[in-house]
């Protein structure tokens, strides 16, 4: 499985390139005037500490100096790992010069929307007979 999704909100749009590697997922989130790799998160699913019948995830994050994508990468990796019970690596690098607080809030909202688009697409492709139910 390999696909690309993007927000389409008019400004501060971001995108994700998603690829399965065996049963694992690799996701590259980028956007802005200077897309890059600012942070990397690797997550693995596990039983929830509060309720072992629920699948959760744990992530490790590397963030390059001066970058702020660590929360985005960690959240996305943990959500995808828990949702699909697999290992996930997410890279994130989004940059606009002189971004206002309002712009930052829009990017945060778009990152949530983007993650929903990724989950929806994986679920749709996993239901396809061609994938055999695998992400």
- CA 74 vs CA 3, 53, 89: distances in Å: 21, 22, 9
Distance CA 2, CA 12 (A): 24
What domains sit in the chain, N to C, each tagged with a CATH number?
2-130 (3.30.230)
Q: What is the pLDDT of residues 13-32, one digit of tens each?
A: 999 999 999 999 999 999 99
Q: What is the pLDDT of residues 73-104, one digit of tens each?
A: 999 999 999 999 999 999 999 999 999 999 99
Q: What is the pTM of this model?
A: 0.92
């Amino acid at each position: 499985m390999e696909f690309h999704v993007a927000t389409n909100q008019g400004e501060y749009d971001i995108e994700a390139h998603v690829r399965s590697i065996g049963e694992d997922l690799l996701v590259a989130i980028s956007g802005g005037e200077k897309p890059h790799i600012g942070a990397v998160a690797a997550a693995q699913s596990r039983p929830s500490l509060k309720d072992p019948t629920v699948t959760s995830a744990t992530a490790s994050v590397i963030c390059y100096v001066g970058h702020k994508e660590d929360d985005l990468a960690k959240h996305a990796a943990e959500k995808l790992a828990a949702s699909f019970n697999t290992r996930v690596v997410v890279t994130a690098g989004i940059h606009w010069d002189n971004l206002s607080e309002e712009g930052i809030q829009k990017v945060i909202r778009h990152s949530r929307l983007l993650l929903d688009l990724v989950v929806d697409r994986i679920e749709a492709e996993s239901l396809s007979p061609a994938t055999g139910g695998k992400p």
